[in-house]
Amino acid sequence: MIKFNHSTDTWGTAYQVGTAGAEIIIQNGKPSALLEDGRIAIVFSTGGAFEVAAGNAGFLDIGLALLDLTTGEWVTAQVGSQSSETSTSISAIGERLLITGYITDSFSEEGEGIIVETDIQFGVGGKAASV
């Protein structure tokens, strides 16, 4: 992520987060959301694992990163199954984050829509897939 000042037309500090694997952003919505505390939440799909994770659960997992612009520090998490999860959008409602996307290779169909609800401390509130 790179800060850009529209008033002065200048680029600011660049911030990077990721795993040793590959991260992708596939968008049908928005990949980031501004939280009430000023941090930015970014959602993506990852083929790797963050240090705090036990490992990648499938080919792709949903990755979530929170950036504190005052300190430049990232907090990361990921969730996944033995299948591939691809995130497409994130919304913030207070301290709740709603992540949408799709999962493949888990049901008899090609792919199914998923919703992951979490809070800013990464307490997963629920996961749902269409059937």
Would residue 60 count as lying in a domain? yes
Joined together, the tokens standing for residue 53 give 């994770």
Per the domain annotation, does 48 fall within a domain?
Answer: yes
**Cβ burial, residue 1 (10 Å; 0-12/13-18/19+):** middle
Is 1 a member of any domain?
no
- Residue 95 is predicted with a pLDDT of 82
Distance CA 90, CA 40 (A): 11
Q: Is residue 62 part of a domain?
A: yes
- One digit per residue, the tens of pLDDT, for the chain of length 131 reads 676 777 888 887 776 776 666 666 666 678 889 998 889 998 888 887 776 555 566 678 888 889 888 898 888 888 877 788 888 899 998 888 999 888 876 544 566 788 888 877 766 655 555 54
Domain that holds residue 44: 20-129
User: In this structure, is residue 123 part of a structural domain?
Assistant: yes
Residue 99 lies in a domain: yes
Going from the C-alpha of 16 to that of each of 22, 32, 40, 42, 63, the distances in angstroms are 13, 14, 13, 11, 14
Q: Is residue 9 part of a domain?
A: no
> Max Cα separation, the chain?
53
Residue 98 structure tokens: 């709603």
- Counted domains in the chain: 1
Return the structure tokens found at 114. 């998923």
**Residue 18 has what pLDDT?**
67
Does 3 map to a domain? no
